Amino acid sequence: MPTVLITGANRGLGLEFVKQYADAGWLVHACCRDPAKAKALAKLTGAATILHELDVANARHVLGLARTLRSEAIDVLINNAGVYGGEAQTFGKLDGTSWDETLRINALGPLLVSQALVDHVARGGRKIIACVTSKMGSMADNTSGGAYVYRASKAALNAVGVSLARDLAAKGITVLLFHPGWVQTDMGGKSAPVKPKDSIAGMRRVIDAATAKDSGRFLNYDGGALSW
């Protein structure tokens, strides 16, 4: 049975990742900060879907998870946990209060998780690390300005992902960076054009077909190449 570990699994894209991988017969390690509040996720847990408490920006939490799973091989690691960073993100209204937390969760978190679980992934059959980033982190795509905190955090995650791709190539690990689309989640809103099931199904197809030559690429959820 192939194994996937998903961060930020309690809602939105993370919850849909859990549903689809579980339905496909994978062993799913579903991670979130507060399992007691993850009611929808709790309904999916069972013999093949295991819930873990994890704050991705807390190094001790991350290392504790790595120890708990020390005998496991992880085929696919999905760094999905992320936050928007509050509403005060326009020029002239920034106060910096959410800056540190957003960068820690969105950029440092995936690095800490990947670093702690790299040997688990190297033991897996697929050897994939996928990071859910955003076109909001693209310099080329920024035509509207604003969203300073979120854009900066996703640009930082893109830089982290490219470095991971270079550093982990010798271990045979492929690192993918995904824009999930503008999705109907709490962050994307109900008017977003992409449904969660379509976004996740698209990313899963790309993950399934990925090879070493795809490592370090910035991809749309349907596999199309994006500009940095």
Per-residue pLDDT tens for 192-221?
Answer: 889 999 999 999 999 999 999 999 999 999
Given the structure tokens 């795509």, which residue do they identify? 141
Domain membership flag for residue 46:
yes
Tell me the pLDDT tens digit for each residue of 48-66.
999 999 999 999 999 999 9
pLDDT band at 30 (very low <50, low <70, confident <90, very high): very high
Range of the domain at 135: 3-220
The string of DSSP letters for 83-148 reads ----S--STTT---TTHHHHHIIIIIHHHHHHHHHHHHHHHSSS-EEEEE--GGG-STT--S---H
Name the pTM for this structure. Answer: 0.96
**CATH code where residue 194 lies:** 3.40.50.720
Domain membership flag for residue 77:
yes
Domain membership flag for residue 227:
no
Domain membership flag for residue 226:
no
The Cα 167–Cα 50 span in angstroms is 30
Tell me the pLDDT tens digit for each residue of 65-80.
999 999 999 999 999 9
Tell me the pLDDT tens digit for each residue of 84-118.
998 889 999 988 889 999 999 999 999 999 999 99
**Count of domains in the chain?**
1
The string of DSSP letters for 157-183 reads HHHHHHHHHHHTGGGT-EEEEEE--SB
The mean per-residue pLDDT over the stretch 160-178 comes to 98
